[in-house]
Homo-oligomer: A and B are copies of this chain.
Amino acid sequence: MHVFLNGRCVPEAEAVVPVSDRGFLYGDGLFETIRIGRGHPFRWEAHLARLSRGAGVLRLRVPFSPGDLLAAVHQLVELNGLPDAVLRLTLTRGAGPRGYSPRGADAPTLVMALHPLPAPPAEPVRVITSSYRIVAGDPLTAVKTCSKITWVMARAEADARGVHDAVLLNTAGHLAEATASNLFWVQDGAVCTPPLQAGALDGVTRALVLELCGRLGLGVCEVDAPPSVLAGAQGVFLTGSVFGVVDVGEWDGRPVPLSPVSARIRSAVAAAQAGA
């Protein structure tokens, strides 16, 4: 496998960073997970726009133009023979002097690595509520940083229970998101999801679903509420770049009814992905 590292496509064994890289030392960076279909990154502009917003928040420089990055993606797909894949793009502040201060770290690290597209989960999936909490309203939760220990440990809780994913609440006890997906539910015919201010990541597929619901004539609603709001939900589903739309069939051991609209939304997302 070849990996893009700071301007060059190198064999995986040479894709290394110094132990003084602030991504490694402090999680001082950003990442994007992008679906590649038939050789093309899906919603590339949206991912690059989010990366750029995050770089503004973290005061990081993106050291390559979107055009150069896209050319490198195509090169990676070609070199690795992987037209259908998951791309992980990582941007860190690079190496710098010891200590939290980002002063003196002026050469960011940019890595892009392809991974085989995993098989979609057998639906509907089971989820649990994580014991870990997201900070609502934190400007650093709003961007996709590399400081993800909370999400890693939430996912480990899901692994330990043998379920697909864990849903994180925010520090107010309200619904936020799953570890690698946004959360949706259907209530009184409307498609609901936590607002970004609740700690939900501004997911590229989340935005696509909200957009597609409009086209499908479905009402959408951002709801900042505790999990009890789900008691009367007509279905729950997760959305993300890797798997698209995934129905939830069980939450904390209790059955969840299948959504009457998720199949239509999943088809619309799949069609958008196929047409990318």
- Identify whether the interface residues of A are mostly helix, strand, loop, or mixed: mixed
A145 touches B140 (CB 8 A): no
Of A135, A147, A159, which is in contact with the most chain B CB atoms at under 10 Å from its CB?
A147
Known: A19-B3, A19-B90, A133-B135. A149 touches B98 (CB 8 A): no
User: Do B58 and A149 have beta carbons less than 8 Å apart?
Assistant: yes
Whether A28 and B88, one on each chain, are in contact in the complex, defined by CB atoms closer than 8 angstroms, is: no
- Please, which residues of chain B bring their CB within 8 A of the CB of A158? 101
Please report the C-alpha to C-alpha distance between residue A101 and residue B148 in the assembled complex, in whole angstroms.
Answer: 11
Identify A149's interface contact among B18, B28, B155, B180, CB under 8 A.
Answer: B28
Q: Could you give, for residues 146-167 of chain A, a 1 whenever the CB lies within 8 Å of some chain B CB and a 0 otherwise? A: 1111111111101100000000
Known A19-B3, A149-B146, A180-B100: A156·B24 in contact at CB below 8 Å = no
* In the complex, chain B residues whose CB is within 8 Å of the CB of A151: 26, 100
Q: What string of 1s and 0s marks CB contacts (under 8 Å) between A109-149 and chain B?
A: 00101010000000000000000110100111000011111
Note all chain B residues with C-beta closer than 8 A to A59. Answer: 156
- Bound CA–CA A24/B152 (angstroms): 13
Chain B contacts for A176, CB-based, 8 A: none
Q: How far is the CB of A79 from chain B (nearest CB, A)?
A: 16
In the complex, the answer to whether A152 meets B17 with C-beta atoms within 8 Å is no
CA distance A31 to B100 in the complex (A): 12
Q: Is A269 an interface residue (CB 8 A)?
A: no
Cβ of A3: which chain B residues have Cβ within 8 Å of it? 19
Judge whether A140 and B147 touch: CB under 8 Å.
Answer: no
A149 touches B101 (CB 8 A): no
A19 near B17: Cβ-Cβ < 8 Å = yes
Q: Is A200 an interface residue (CB 8 A)?
A: no
Chain B positions within 8 Å of A113 at CB level = 19-20
How would residues 71 to 92 of chain A score, 1 for a CB under 8 Å from any chain B CB and 0 otherwise?
0000000000000001010101
Q: Beyond A16-B19, A24-B90, A98-B115: 10 further Cβ-contacts under 8 Å? A: A16-B16, A20-B113, A21-B24, A24-B146, A25-B31, A27-B147, A27-B149, A100-B154, A101-B159, A102-B152
